[in-house]
Chain A
Amino acid sequence: MNLAIVVNVVIQGVLTGLVYGLMALGLSVIFGVVRVINFAHGEFAVVAMYAAYVLFVTLGFDPILSLFPVAAAFFLIGYALHALLINRFIGRSEHEQFILLVGLAIVIVNGLLMIFGPDARPTNLPYSFDSYLVGPLFVDKARVYAAVGALVVAAALFAFFRYTTTGTAIRACADNRTGAAVVGLNIKRLYALTFGLGLACVGAAGALLVPIADASPLLSQQFTLLAFIIVIVGGLGSMAGALIGGVVIGISEALASLFMAPSIKSMFSFALLVAVLVLRPQGLMGRRI
């Protein structure tokens, strides 16, 4: 097989993987701080895809730019969702949280199905079929834009957690909840804020996915599982880990599609998940717990 084709496919996998990584970052932040497993994560990603799709069809808004309004709206949704509903489930057992979020996921998927129907909605952008020519390589313009968008959002989130007082407070909650409460931090508000930020990530990722994949309600479960695999592979609680996990999964799926068949690409992701769980449970980038 031609080496250039392989390199092309790998680059595509890296670019797509960065967007997946941003989606998983949202899950990682929520899981790492609030300790709630967001089993409706992929469902939210697909809602964001439809939001970006509607913005494009009605107002002609570019999906890459629509990541800003969509992420802002998702932040508010996440904040409200936590304050009104999820907060009651903090400290309850995992299976109760699971049923709550699975119920929410069922409502979201079928709500989308009622509104938009089961057919995939492609978005034809002016640059959909453009590519950058680098030597023998063709790089999709749409994927480059999406990957850059994902990196920008991830960097902003990273800076927020690293350099702002609120971000530091949230990290304190994640490290030691009781200690954080003792020094007077408003845990409930910070958790709601974190849930909002996690959903903002997923909202941004959903908007960025629109040029790469056609919006369809059927994608949601796949995305939820994908986000979980990425977070575990990359390492829970490591922000860089989510992005790196996304890239690893992106490359492995792209190569599996090339050398084997597209229908079995996720087999490799699941095999990777099992291998990481058994051999390196803290993930590639995580610290040993």
Chain B
Amino acid sequence: MTDLWSSIPQRGRVTLLVLIALLLAAPMALDRYLISIFVLIFYYAYVGQAWNLLMGFAGQLSLGHALYAGLGGYVAALLWFYFGIGPWLGVFAAVAVAAMFGAAVGWLGFRFGIEGVYFALLTIAFAEFTRIAFDNMPFTGGAGGLFLLYDAQRSHEWWNLRGGPLLFYYIGLVLAAAAAVLTAWLARSRIGFQWLAVREDQQAALALGIDAFRVKMIAMLISSSMTAIGGVLLTFYYNNLFPTQAFDIGRSIEIILAPIIGGLGTIFGPIVGAFILTPLGEGLIALTGSLGIDAPGAKAVFYGLTLMVIITLRPDGVWPWLKRLLALTEVKS
């Protein structure tokens, strides 16, 4: 850990400490709406980091990460709904189930040499398959959705994730920070360098004696487990789940936007991306509203255009450029 800390230059350390202090104190100055936006920022920074670990470091393109978030959310919600088992326990079951699915997808993909776009399609297939299955399963609420009752009497039970945006603000902040530290630590460890070797040239990595299958499986298991925890958080925040939303390919795309826009394979990329995209989406709602364009879809049209502009101008993401601009350096990935 101290090694990790000392690898950041002086200027970066000061900036980081100031940012953390600001984020810890920020809720005192923010209203409920702004806090709810920060909750989403932290969520996307967190799940983005989980996806970044698999794609940015191990080089495996998953377009079905909604599967793990959705499964995590459903498992924890069902345990709470039917047996009253709280999410702090339920999250372990959620992680176990999501990791099992991750292992299945990873095993099929890596064992049978399904790579690149083909692997991406495999992950989409599993997510869509699960979506349709959940749509037709009665005990999960089917297509009608699953709802967690919001009981005002229990709203102080923060240990059961029952509470307002402020609770989720701090949990989200801790999760996003922890994910960044974990990724930075893994990136500097033996497995991190093995991921990079496999990402850059699998044949060469194999020749060096790296067990590519094992290395990629580890990335898949960590990534799917982390994503499941994000799913639990989001489910207890929104108190509802629908298969068409939870497992939708649109959800998977939302997860991968922040790390790509921020900078793939960097520690701060997903965080920077989440801080750009979430306020952008919210800002566009306000903007189109004030311009008097209230047609459905107007906001999303601008959002899509912005994505196209950013990826055309900053193909490596915003963070590497921002880093040079601010003359900060991060842990080399």
- Interface residues of chain A, those whose CB is within 8 Å of chain B, are 37, 85, 88, 92, 94-96, 98-100, 102-107, 109-114, 117-118, 221, 225, 228-229, 232, 261, 263-264, 266-267, 270-271, 273-274, 277-278, 281
Q: Which A-chain residue is minimally distant from B253 (CB atoms)? A: A102
Cβ contact within 8 Å between B308 and A103: yes
- Cα(A92)–Cα(B315), bound, Å: 9
Q: Which of B108, B116, B135, B301 contacts A111 (CB 8 A)?
A: B301
A201 vs B73: C-alpha distance when bound (angstroms) = 41
**Distance from B181 Cβ to chain A, minimum over Cβ atoms (Å):** 25
Whether B136 and A277, one on each chain, are in contact in the complex, defined by CB atoms closer than 8 angstroms, is: no
11 contacts between A and B (CB under 8 A): A94-B116, A96-B315, A99-B307, A100-B307, A107-B301, A110-B297, A111-B301, A114-B296, A118-B296, A277-B108, A278-B112
B266 to chain A, nearest CB (A): 14
Q: Among the listed A85, A106, A228, A267, which residue makes an inter-chain contact with B129, where contact means beta carbons less than 8 Å apart?
A: A267
Complex: A110 Cα to B250 Cα, angstroms: 13
Complex: A266 Cα to B124 Cα, angstroms: 13
User: Smallest CB-CB separation from B124: which chain A residue?
Assistant: A225
Residues of B within 8 A of A278 (CB): 108, 112, 114
Interface string of B126-163 (1 = CB under 8 A from A): 10110011011000000000000000000000000000
Number of interface residues of B (CB under 8 A): 46
The answer to whether A277 and B312 touch across the interface, beta carbons within 8 angstroms, is no
Contact with A along B251-271 (1 / 0, CB 8 A): 001001100110010000000
B321 within 8 A of A: no
Min CB–CB distance B243 → chain A (angstroms): 11
Decide if B55 is an interface residue (CB 8 Å cutoff).
Answer: yes
Q: How far is the CA of A228 from the CA of B118 in the complex (A)?
A: 10
Q: Which residues of B contact A88 (CB under 8 A)?
A: 312
Q: Which residues on A sit within 8 Å (CB–CB) of B117?
A: 37, 94
**Closest residue to B119 on the A side, CB-wise?**
A277
Known contacts A267-B129, A267-B133: A102-B297 contact under CB 8 Å: no
In the complex, chain A residues whose CB is within 8 Å of the CB of B306? 103
Q: How far is the CA of A233 from the CA of B112 in the complex (A)?
A: 16
Confirm or deny: B24 has a beta carbon within 8 angstroms of a beta carbon on chain A. Answer: no
From B299, B304, B315, give the contact of A103 (CB < 8 A).
Answer: B304
Decide if B122 is an interface residue (CB 8 Å cutoff): yes
User: Is A100 a contact partner of B312 (Cβ separation < 8 A)?
Assistant: yes
Q: Are B311 and A100 in contact (CB under 8 A)?
A: yes
Contact B311 A103 (CB under 8 A): yes
| Complex contact B61–A103 (CB within 8 A) | no
Given the known inter-chain contacts A100-B308, A277-B114, please indicate yes or no for A114 contacting B301, CB distance below 8 A: yes
Q: Which residue of A lies closest to B304 (CB)?
A: A106
B51 → chain A, closest Cβ, in Å? 11
| Chain B residue contacts of A107, Cβ below 8 A | 300-301, 304-305, 308
Docked CA distance A58–B183 (Å): 58
B274-327 residues with Cβ-Cβ distance < 8 A to A are 295-301, 303-308, 311-312, 315
Cα–Cα, bound, A85→B298 (Å): 22
Chain B nearest CB from A114 CB (Å) reads: 4
Q: Which of B118, B121, B129, B136 contacts A263 (CB 8 A)?
A: B136
Asked whether, in the complex, the Cβ of A273 is within 8 Å of the Cβ of B112, the reply is no
Does A273 lie within 8 Å of B108, measured CB to CB?
A: no
